[in-house]
Amino acid sequence: MSFENLHKVNAEALEDAVVEICSSLEVDAAKLDELTAYFIECMEKGLNNTSVGEEKTVDKGLPMIPTYVTSLPNGTERGVLLAADLGGTHFRVCSVTLNGDGTFDMQQLKSKIPEEYLNDKDVTSEELFSYLGRRTRAFVRKHHPELLKSTGENIKPLKMGFTFSYPIDQTSLSSGTLIRWTKSFKIEDTVGKDVVRLYQEQLDIQGLSMINVVALTNDTVGTFLSHCYTSGARPSSAGEISEPVIGCIFGTGTNGCYMEDIENIKKLPDELRTRLLHEGKTQMCINIEWGSFDNELKHLSATKYDIDIDQKFSPNPGYHLFEKRISGMYLGELLRNILVDLHARGLILGQYRNYDQLPHRLKTPFQLCSEVLSRIEIDDSTNLRETELSFLQSLRLPTTFEERKAIQNLVRSITRRSAYLAAVPIAAILIKTNALNKRYHGEVEIGFDGYVIEYYPGFRSMLRHALALSPIGTEGERKIHLRLAKDGSGVGAALCALVA
């Protein structure tokens, strides 16, 4: 066979393989229907299930964690509060001044969590929380030095809200034990412990006992509260009053929360439910922990790449399978696994004779980050030059034009699946709560945060497209206002601390 013919056969084989992979990542309207119906079923089961920690057990439904937040802010709240926020990649300490008019001022110290706390298996819980304590002291030294000078009777206690973006079995507004780590952390001895106590102990050690951690909140709840505070009862663009109904995150991880009628939260002890209802509280915010949806893979489809990522590379095999198809931490890893497979099948990167010869970065799990994908997604440069440079820069990997075309198609399918799946919980909540029919026009607001939904090009419009295809239809999709609650978890934690 001539060189040209050989090249053509290879290019066609690659194209066929890519078409097949892309079609295995497709989520059509029928799948959206099926998944939305099952999501609602899992929400209901989860509200009745008392063992929050056992989300893997078949038929227990979603975690549906009660947060003890029973009312939403309206923008008139005032006060100066502290907030700390442990996310997937950063730890933030902030002081938040709520001005009472939907605005706030914030001073913050944001630190990238050092690799060793994420990847070193021998790191203990005490070491991690000691790091959080030290960063908090650094913040206080910089922004509130007066606190370090106060002694004895002068000490004025300051309330702090702690945003902890991992599944927690929350036992009150100010306490909760870690069910399991997600995203990158693996520190075993934190599981089962009260994270507020662990943090408060370290604050005390750092001489910061004037700080009282009075509220524990998930980042979705923080985002929701902050969205409610900043939006108040603002009219939407149509002049209609729209109601905040969901707080959600699409970043390193993914999750959401909403207000549920207390009488439906059967997992709350009867006595507590009766007391709350007696006090006139009718709703409570539920942290769904939707990353855990369908861990049994009853309705979610799984490609061989999904299975490999979950089992071989993820820190929590068998858990958070929905998150592993959606969140920013996994998008690049999916592409990396597909490329390694296409190479093993002799379809790309022929200059490397075997796996061992591949560039080190392509062989390293989680090395290919979603930021690279976001550049490829919209690359319209001649010969996909931008993609070529991105791959050279991030993976030290030279590519041919055919390979780059294949890579771009794969990237677009990976993200489309992510955005389409992201529509499922949103449609499910809107249907379950009947939110779209509550007022005459039924306009609703969704407060969101997270780098995928904020920055990934086209993610929001793909999500909207999927919402229109979902059971809520185009009519429902038009009533949704998506609003960014930037850094909402800090303001949200402060709002939680205010009412604690």
Chain residues binding ligand BGC by CB under 6 A are 165-167, 182-183, 218-220, 249, 251, 253-255, 289, 291, 323
**What does the DSSP 8-state code read for residue 309?**
I
Cα-based torsion angle of the residue sequence 39, 45, 51, 53 in order, rounded to the nearest 10 degrees: 0
**385 in the Ramachandran plot: left (φ > 0), alpha (ψ -120 to 50) or beta?**
alpha
Q: Closest CB to ligand BGC among 67 and 255? A: 255
Alpha carbon 328 to its chain's center = 8
Catalytic pick among 85, 194, 219, 449: 219
C-beta of residue 110 within 8 angstroms of C-beta of residue 247: no
Q: How far is the CB of 195 from ligand BGC (least distance, A)?
A: 12
In three-state secondary structure terms, 378 is coil
Of 131 and 250, the one with the shorter C-beta distance to ligand BGC is: 250
Quick check: is 209 catalytic? no
Closest to ligand BGC by CB, 202 vs 252, is 252
DSSP 174: T
219 in catalytic set: yes
Alpha-carbon distance 226 to 493, whole Å?
8
Smallest distance, ligand BGC to C-beta of residue 473, A: 28
Task: Give the chain's radius of gyration (CA, Å).
Answer: 24
Q: How far is CA 77 from the centre of its chain?
A: 27
Least distance to ligand BGC, CB of residue 170, Å: 11
| Residues 455 and 60 sit within 8 Å (Cβ to Cβ) | no
Q: Which is nearer to ligand BGC, 21 or 419 (CB)?
A: 419
Q: Are 31 and 48 in contact (CB under 8 A)?
A: no
Nearer to ligand BGC, 370 or 390 (CB): 370
Do β-strands 78-86 and 158-164 pair in parallel, antiparallel, or remain unpaired? parallel
SS3 content of the chain, % helix, strand, coil (to 5): 50, 20, 35
165, 374, 413, 418: which is the annotated catalytic residue?
165
| Residue 180 annotated in active site | yes
Kindly state the tokens that stand for 410.
Answer: 């794969």
Residue pair 288/255 in contact (Cβ under 8 Å)? The answer is yes
Nearest distance from C-beta of residue 345 to ligand BGC, angstroms: 32
Q: Which of these is catalytic: 92, 135, 137, 180?
A: 180
When the beta carbons of 249 and 498 are compared against ligand BGC, the nearer one is 249
Minimal distance, residue 438 CB to ligand BGC, in Å: 26
Strands 211-217 and 158-164: parallel
CB of 374 to ligand BGC, least distance (A): 19
Name the closest residue to ligand BGC (Cβ). 253
Q: Are strands 444-449 and 243-250 parallel, antiparallel or unpaired?
A: parallel
Active site residues: 165, 180, 219
